[in-house]
């Protein structure tokens, strides 16, 4: 199956070439959690700042330091290796005292705080991430780039899944399709591969709306989702109020992460079925595996945006909700060349 990963841009202004992640400090990620540790309990929450280190690798190092099993160390989501990132890990220490912090010697890792809590930090327990990104070797004058950035922060960008969701060269999608066709893989990888397939199908739906110019507009048969949270409703015929709320950024059209659903949205199902016609056997296989259908907003609007120039390089900062990808924002601004490292903000 011929898979394509070159997604159309929504904004029509000229873009510049640019480089990100040339140095870890060019890409700063600060995690925002929904709660703070209370100060007591059997879980030790460690807020860390890491530079040039992989999240999963660091979790294993913390487990070794605390003398616990790797499964006793958890985190909300993966973060870049080629970046400076702040995130929290929880270490399960029932009936144990805190480890000796003087023995913690992990290169380029700093403990910002260590506080006990009554609960572990779960995967996905995340409000979102704040990014501070330096763009090097930009070919556009800074004032034009700032104008383009202003348009992006007002109108938003297509909420594509980033390339890292699909694996190197899209191999996770290919393996997911093989899995759905009966191939066998280690059980712990199955959900990753299936998620990659569904994310790819969503991107195809979004790309079609971008090409039609309706990625940020409600049309008949859409499932509208509120900007805050994941709640939404079916719009067989969007009302004037629905349309106005979409213009204001309070609502967004959304697309399916295909799977089983008890609801029938005839117009939406027909439209998505047409776009994904060549993947019908894949979707049927997802149904056979009892994968549930979910919706994802077609648009994301960067929050708390800021633009400045440091030593001639534009630096942008913004906040994105959990599950949104910074590179999908930057791709609307410039043709990216990345340094080493893989971006994962889940």
From the candidates 80, 137, 270, 311, give the one annotated as an active-site residue.
80
C-beta separation of 273 from 266 below 8 A: no
Q: What is the pLDDT of residue 13?
A: 87
The CA-CA-CA angle for residues 37, 35, 160, to 5°, reads 135
Q: Is 104 helix (H, G, I), strand (E, B) or coil?
A: coil
Q: What is the pLDDT of residue 194?
A: 98
Strand ranges (E), 188-262: 222-226, 232-235, 251-257
pTM of the entire predicted model: 0.92
Q: What is the pLDDT of residue 280?
A: 97
Q: Respond yes or no: is residue 340 known to be catalytic.
A: no
38 CA to centre of own chain: 28
Structure tokens of 31? 């995690």
Q: What is the pLDDT of residue 16?
A: 80
Q: What is the pLDDT of residue 339?
A: 55
**Average pLDDT for consecutive 10-residue bins of the chain (346 residues)?**
90 87 96 97 98 95 97 94 96 96 94 98 96 93 94 97 92 97 94 97 98 98 94 96 96 97 93 97 97 98 97 96 95 76 44
Q: What is the pLDDT of residue 256?
A: 98
> What domains does the chain contain, in order, with CATH numbers?
34-125 (3.30.2350.20), 157-300 (3.30.2340.10)
Structure tokens of 47? 């807020």
What is the C-alpha separation between 343 and 153, in angstroms, rounded?
A: 21
Q: What is the pLDDT of residue 336?
A: 73
Q: What is the pLDDT of residue 341?
A: 40
C-beta separation of 284 from 276 below 8 A: no
List for the chain the helix, strand, coil content (%; round to 5): 35, 30, 40
């Amino acid at each position: 199956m011929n898979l394509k990963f070159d997604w159309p841009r929504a904004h029509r202004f000229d873009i510049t070439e640019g480089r990100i992640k040339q140095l870890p400090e060019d890409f700063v990620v600060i995690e925002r959690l929904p709660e703070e540790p209370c100060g007591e309990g059997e879980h030790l929450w460690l807020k860390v700042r890491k530079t040039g280190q992989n999240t999963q690798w660091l979790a294993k190092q913390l487990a070794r330091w605390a003398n616990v099993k790797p499964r006793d160390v958890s985190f909300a989501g993966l973060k870049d290796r080629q970046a400076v990132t702040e995130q929290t890990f929880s270490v399960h220490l029932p009936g144990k005292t805190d480890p000796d912090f003087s023995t913690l010697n992990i290169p380029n890792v700093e403990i910002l705080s260590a506080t006990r809590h009554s609960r572990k930090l779960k995967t996905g327990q995340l409000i979102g991430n704040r990014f501070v990104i330096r763009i090097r070797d930009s070919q556009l004058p800074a004032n034009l780039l700032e104008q383009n950035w202003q348009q992006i922060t007002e109108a938003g960008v297509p909420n594509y899944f980033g390339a890292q969701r699909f694996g190197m060269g899209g191999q996770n999608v290919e393996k997911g399709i093989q899995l759905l066709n009966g191939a066998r893989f280690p059980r712990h990888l199955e959900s990753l591969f299936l998620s990659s397939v569904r994310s790819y199908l969503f991107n195809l739906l979004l790309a079609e709306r971008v090409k039609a110019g309706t990625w940020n507009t409600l049309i008949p048969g859409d499932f509208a989702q509120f900007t805050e949270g994941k709640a939404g409703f079916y719009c067989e015929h969007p009302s004037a109020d629905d349309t106005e709320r979409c213009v204001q950024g309070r609502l967004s059209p959304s697309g399916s992460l295909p799977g089983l659903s008890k609801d029938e949205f005839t117009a939406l199902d027909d439209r998505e079925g047409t776009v994904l016609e060549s993947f019908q056997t894949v979707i049927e296989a997802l149904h056979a595996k009892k994968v549930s259908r979910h919706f994802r907003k077609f648009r994301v609007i960067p929050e708390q945006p800021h633009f400045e120039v440091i030593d001639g390089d534009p630096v942008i900062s913004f906040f994105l909700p959990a599950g949104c990808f910074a590179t999908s924002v930057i791709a609307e601004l410039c043709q990216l060349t990345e340094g080493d490292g893989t971006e994962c903000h889940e």
